[in-house]
């Protein structure tokens, strides 16, 4: 099986990442840690490994510790990249150009175009995004590409404040709002579509609360990781999305990491 060619490499990568704990990643330069991200994504994006083969690594008990380390690093490097780009935007004389320099910017464009296959976003809609982070790029691009208005829900107060300042710098405060809180804030909002970030946690609680708040006709899109891309982060489980039915899904093109899934609440 082709997945086994990466067995030792995954173990070596996880071993090399043990020195990058949560605090140390913040202090490391991107020039030092981006090559490590590249080495992980080389495995994640190998199109020769089908879903069945990927399971041999992803569900192997011996690989559990290695996957925890790699997934933890992926989360922290993602937050570092977003936070640093957000701060650069706040200091920039040309904030839109600075935004476009974000490491994942082009991938987000492709991701959102891919998600339009699930739902025909239009300017009359309001999208609520759960887990907006310091750089609410999904909502920024939905507005830029389709004139959709948005609401970003972010549970960490400091991160929510950074994202507000970013939107102000980009002159988008009339288009996108930021709310400090969790998914239960849906009860206070008017919206058409709910999106759940790939890294929003805990999934079971989030989907349970979303299920309580949304109407049956409200589309819900969530992002997850499938196939070998699940080396980057644990996939959303069927247990977490209990009470919803899957309508459609789109697999990630190229170096995009997320599979996007459209669901509706069951009666």
DSSP sequence for the chain = -GGGGGHHHHHHHHHHHTT--HHHHHHS-HHHHHHHHHHHHHHHT-TTS-HHHHHHHHT-GGGHHHHHHHHHHHHHHHHHHHHHHHHHHHH-SSHHHHHHTSTTHHHHHHHHHHHTTT----TT-EEEEE---SS-HHHHHHHHHH--EEEEEESSHHHHHHHHHHHHHTT-TTTEEEEES-GGGGGG---SEEEE-TT-S-HHHHHHHHHHHS-TTS-EEEEE--GGGGGSSPPPPTTTTTTEEEEEEEPPPTT---EEEEEEE--
pLDDT (average), residues 225-230: 96
Q: pLDDT digits over 174-197, tens only?
A: 999 999 999 999 999 999 999 999
* Beta-bridge partner residues of 246: 263
As a whole number, the mean pLDDT across the chain is 94
Q: What is the pLDDT, as a whole number, of residue 10? A: 92
Calculate the dihedral angle through the C-alpha atoms of 121, 122, 123, 128, rounding to the nearest 10 degrees: -30
pLDDT (average), residues 232-260: 97
Q: What is the pLDDT, as a whole number, of residue 43? A: 94
Domain count, the chain: 1
Which residue range is the domain that position 177 belongs to?
A: 1-267
| Spatial contact of 38 and 215, defined as CB atoms under 8 Å apart | no
Q: What percent of the chain is predicted at pLDDT more than 90? A: 81
Task: Give the predicted TM-score (pTM) of the model.
Answer: 0.95
CATH assignment at residue 2: 3.40.50.150
| Spatial contact of 59 and 235, defined as CB atoms under 8 Å apart | no
Question: 22 pLDDT exceeds 70?
Answer: no
Assign 47 a pLDDT band (cuts: 50, 70, 90).
confident
Q: pLDDT digits over 92-117, tens only?
A: 999 999 999 999 999 999 999 999 99
Q: pLDDT digits over 145-176, tens only?
A: 999 999 999 999 999 999 999 999 999 999 99
């Amino acid at each position: 099986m082709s997945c086994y060619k990466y067995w030792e490499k995954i173990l070596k990568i996880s071993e090399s990442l043990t020195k990058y704990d949560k605090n140390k990643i913040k202090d490391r330069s991107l020039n030092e840690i981006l090559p490590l991200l590249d080495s992980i994504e080389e495995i994640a994006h190998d199109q020769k490994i089908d879903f069945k083969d990927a399971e041999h690594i992803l569900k192997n008990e011996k690989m559990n510790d290695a996957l925890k380390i790699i997934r933890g690093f992926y989360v922290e490097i993602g937050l570092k990249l977003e936070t640093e780009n957000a701060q650069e935007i706040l200091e920039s004389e040309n904030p839109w150009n600075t935004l476009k320099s974000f490491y994942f910017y082009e991938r987000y464009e492709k991701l959102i175009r891919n998600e339009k296959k699930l739902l025909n976003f239009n300017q009359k809609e309001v999208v609520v995004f759960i887990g907006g982070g310091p750089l609410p790029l999904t909502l920024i691009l939905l507005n830029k590409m389709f004139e959709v208005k948005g609401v970003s829900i972010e549970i960490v107060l400091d991160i929510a404040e950074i994202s507000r300042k970013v939107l102000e710098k980009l002159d988008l405060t009339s288009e996108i709002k930021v709310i400090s809180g969790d998914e239960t804030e849906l009860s206070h909002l008017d919206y058409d579509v709910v999106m759940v970030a790939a890294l929003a946690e805990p999934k079971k609680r989030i989907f349970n609360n979303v299920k309580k708040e949304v109407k049956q006709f409200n589309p819900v899109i969530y992002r997850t990781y499938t196939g070998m891309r699940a080396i980057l982060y644990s996939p959303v489980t069927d247990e977490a999305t209990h009470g919803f039915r899957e309508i459609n899904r789109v697999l990630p093109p190229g170096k995009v990491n997320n599979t996007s899934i459209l669901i509706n609440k069951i009666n």
